[in-house]
Amino acid sequence: MKRMTTAVGAGLTAACILATTACSTKAQGDSGSSGGSGDVKTDIGVTDSEITLGVQTDMSGVFKSIGLALSHGNELWAADVNATGGVCNRKIKLDVQDNAYKAENAIPLYEIQKPKIAGYLQLIGSPVLAALKAKITADNVLTIPAAQASANMDSPAVMLIGATYDIEMINGLAWLAEQGQLKDGDKIGHIYVDSEYGQNGLLGSKSFAKQHGIQVVEAAIGATDTDMTATITKFKEAGVKTIALTTTPAGTASAAVQNKAQGLNVPIMGNDPTFTPNMMTDQTVVAALDVMHISAATVGYGHDVPLAQKIKSEYTGKFQDQPNYAVNAGYMEGLVWQEVLKQACADGDLTRAGIVKARTKVTTVDGQGIAGDMDLSDPGNPTTRKTFIEQPDASKINEGGLKVVEELYESQEAKKYKAPHQK
């Protein structure tokens, strides 16, 4: 397991860290990003000068490219907010750990990080969240998971931001229908990782299918499965007219190639984690992706909006890893945390419990063109129902590999959809 700690700004001062009781510190003045000043209660992860946020990411597993990009986005946000004075007159410090997308790694890492973080800026992915959710909830550790399954929106400490996997898939299929590529009564073949990630994407395809008299042909796979030959054969025999994917990028590549090789050649719609630009180093894969689109909560890297361009300019020269959409997503995680911390500061309570409470008071987070505007106030309701519809583009391989074909699309089916824990 790899470990990396990032501290930007002043070093640690005398810490006010107590296990069960809060203490009070005085915020010295106010900056534009601080959200307020005055007496502020603190406990774990917050000192007079710093707020420490945890990151558990994947730097060595099946979602390595996405985990690295998310973390780099987190780092860019922390550097930017610290350059303007931090939040509540405290600099942001990141404690970064590699869980390799494995729950057995994440559990001991949580015990290491728990005594020193105010919350999680990033926690990847679905099996990790499943293993830690009860602990996070009991310990009031506000967490943004890099796992968008709406089934997890039953805990106020779990803060899913952006459209969830089910919403992404509903919007994606609705968009295909609007384009005339999917019709009522057709069959959809859905390949999904048999975890909360894949099951939540499947929930979306089933919801859309129910509204349109469509049959869903299911194909559950493991996270490490990379050969979709037999699955595409099954879909061809079943007569599917569209393939839905809630898979790893390696699974996507195989499904796309087999879709062409076996002569099925139907449209493909994927959730946003299904694609990374490094897939496009293989020309056979590139040729197979011409029928694929992605429904994504966050816009692809390098998109032509000011914030995405700013992130791109800061990324260039600072990081060597190939960028993808998750750089923007990682930065967006920071912007959401920033609004929550500003609210907690204004409330005078930067304890863990105070931070969890503060998130329910945040009704607007400006997506600034890289995500839909978000309302965090109802933990059971997706924060937005808007997604970008994107298409792989080999000419953009060094800029995330995607082009936007529909900006912040919100289908009628997504508007009507009731998430599992929505009141």
DSSP letters spanning 252-302: HHHHHHHHHHTT----EEEEGGG--GGGGGSHHHHHHGGGEEEEESBPPTT
46 by DSSP, 3-state: which? strand
C-alpha closest to that of 153 among 124, 131, 133:
133
Per-residue confidence (pLDDT) for residue 36, from 0 to 100: 43
d(CA 8, CA 79): 7
Least confident of 17-21, 42-46, 197-201, 296-300: 17-21
Nearest alpha carbon to residue 136 among 100, 106, 94: 106
Let me know if domain 3-163+302-359 sits in CATH 3.40.50.2020. Answer: no
Q: Does domain 165-296+387-416 fall into CATH 3.40.190.10?
A: no
Distance of CA 393 to CAs 73, 251, 281, 297, Å?
22, 19, 12, 18
387, 295 in Cβ contact below 8 A? Answer: yes
Cβ atoms 176, 182 nearer than 8 A: yes
**343-376 burial, b for 16+ CB within 10 Å, e for fewer?**
bbbbbbbbbbbbbbbbbeebeebebbbbbbebeb
Q: In the chain, what percentage of residues exceed pLDDT 90?
A: 85
Question: 24 is written with which tokens?
Answer: 């009070």
Equal CATH topology for 3-163+302-359 and 165-296+387-416: yes
Given the DSSP bridges, would you call strands 142-145 and 187-193 parallel, antiparallel or unpaired? unpaired
Q: Mean of the per-residue pLDDT values for the chain?
A: 91
Residue 38 confidence (pLDDT): 56
Beta-bridged to residue 218, according to DSSP, are 190
Rg over alpha carbons for the chain, rounded to the nearest Å, is 21
The Cα 98–Cα 60 span in angstroms is: 7
**Greater pLDDT, 234 or 325:** 234
pLDDT tens-place string over residues 174-233: 999 999 999 999 999 999 999 889 999 999 999 999 999 999 999 999 989 999 999 999
What's residue 245's pLDDT? 98
Q: Write out pLDDT tens, residues 220-246.
A: 999 899 999 999 999 999 999 999 999
Order of strands across the sheet with 292-296?
A: 215-221, 187-193, 242-246, 268-271, 292-296, 387-392, 402-409
Q: Where are the domains of the chain?
A: 3-163+302-359, 165-296+387-416
